[in-house]
Amino acid sequence: MKYLIIQLSLAKPKFITFYIEMKKHLLLIATMVSAIATASANEYTFVFDGDNSLGELPRQTDEKTLEYVDGFSLTEEGINFTISKTDGTGNGFALINAGGTNAGIYVSSGIGTKIELTVPGGTITSAQINMSGYALTNLDVVFNGVETESEKEGSMYYWLWSDEGGKEKLSIEWGSTFMARYIHSIEVTYTPDLGGKQECGLSFSKKSVEGMLGERFSSPTLRNPNNLPINWTSSNENVATVDQNGKLTLISSGITIITASTEGNDEYAAGNAKYELTVIPVAKNFVQMKEEAPNVSDKVKVNFPMTVTFANGSYAYVTDSEGNAGCIHDLRNQSGSSTTVNTIYKIGNVIPAGWIATNATIYESVIWEGKPDKVTENVTVEYPEVTSVTPEDADRVVILKNVTFEKIASGTTKGYGETPDNKRYEFQDTYETSPVAVGTYDVTVLVKYSKVNTTEYFYLVPLAYQEASESKVEAAEIKDAKESYYDLTGKKIDNPKSGVYVKVSNYEATKVIVK
């Protein structure tokens, strides 16, 4: 008995593996991964990696720019797979990874679909198709002419078929519908034609493993009970190479399939065993963290300590030793299961290196999920003082100097303040720390930043307010009784615009707001 899983997304982690090769920016979508092997079954894995005979089926990340095909086919390990459009006026099929459940084979609205699985000379005994989308409860999916009702698990709908006697060919069909949907995976259990020979019996001790780039790695153990000659291959030698003794060399971050195959002999059929190897990059600071794992669900080893600058709820804002800032979320120490970060970490805690983080990017803000160890020490945190904020301050806590508020936000409403250089910022009073009066303040803020197309957006979360220190204009600068203006650094301004200034009149200096 052989098991084949056609996998197309992350939507159902039990079945699905997907990966974006970070350094090369090549999209790799694991589409056929073996199910649990039995004593008499070989393992099989197939990967959409651009080397398959798929025609020009594109891989897209944006649903608005998809390119479609009317169908495609492939052959792997004695089973043939085809998908085609049967009726309707829709666009067809596209391979997409847009994150979350928006990944897999995208079936456009307005078409009927037919999937055919054939094992020449062998038998298929069970199959399951997993999909997501709207109105799937009412979708009539037909297996070899028999309509099957859907079942649901979370946001995933799935349909099951089985036949103890087995079929050489299995057809899965549904009619045209105005709803688009995603095929996330198709799992098939089948027995190939072995030509009267016994199965080779190859298997690995593990189905999938992870290795850290540049660190020691142990391969799964190959079981070869019939002592057949073995040939070793790696599906992506840019990620890892393997010699004919099965020894691995990790090259770069990514996913590859390691295969041990045999041509068999007069008694045993040809066959193979495979496992999936994920090579995880190692980052030494937050900049490398974002470079090595830029996409949703990318993994990276955090090989540097972080200092907590602020923690609230499920979020902690941290800096590395080089001053780079980041946001981390859903952290759990080794002994805890709480997702409330500030029950674990406080300002000044140092989170040690050596844990695996997963990127869950939201807009331009990066959230890293993982399970670091307990804090190793506490340090005094001093926030940098700035007169304006930049994109480099994203997820950083800073003290923004001399912000003038004409109207104060209260509760959870927005407020706006201006700095002396006439920059106007939005303040989100998330923690109800607004000042009680109109005035000029040095504000300790958490900087949030996003960018949509070419437009940048800042909003600041105030953590504390302190009345701004008075700026003094030296008497030597007051030369006569004429009215004149100075900024808060003491520089004379001939034509003051809106902002806070020191006004000199009749040899007296007064701080004023110019509108």
pLDDT at residue 236, rounded to an integer? 86
> Smallest Cα–Cα separation from 103: which of 164, 151, 155?
155
pLDDT at residue 111, rounded to an integer? 93
pLDDT at residue 372, rounded to an integer? 78
Query: What are the φ and ψ backbone dihedral angles of 474, each rounded to 5 degrees?
Result: -60, 145
d(CA 314, CA 332): 10
User: What DSSP string runs through 226-248?
Assistant: T----EEEES-TTTEEE-TT--E
The encoded tokens of residue 259 equal 């295969």
pLDDT at residue 68, rounded to an integer? 86
pLDDT at residue 32, rounded to an integer? 34
pLDDT at residue 45, rounded to an integer? 38
Residue 507 amino acid letter: Y
d(CA 48, CA 18): 10
The encoded tokens of residue 90 equal 């829709």
d(CA 487, CA 482): 17
Cβ-Cβ contacts under 8 Å for 499 (sequence gap 6 or more): 404, 418, 419, 420, 421, 422, 487, 513, 514
Encode pLDDT of 330-371 as tens digits: 766 555 555 677 778 889 999 899 888 887 665 555 667 777
User: What DSSP string runs through 61-130?
Assistant: S-GGG---BSEEEEEETTEEEEEEEEEESS--EEEEE-STTSEEEEE-TTEEEEEEEE-TTSEEEEEEEE
Beta-strand relationship, 385-386 and 397-405: parallel
**Which residue, chain included where needed, has tokens 């709908």?**
157
Tell me which H or E stretch contains 288: helix 286-292
Encode pLDDT of 482-494 as tens digits: 677 777 666 778 8
Ranges of the chain with pLDDT below 70: 1-63, 97-103, 295-297, 331-339, 360-367, 407-413, 436, 469-482, 488-490, 506-511, 515
Give, in degrees to the nearest 5, the angle at Cα 415 between 411 and 416: 165
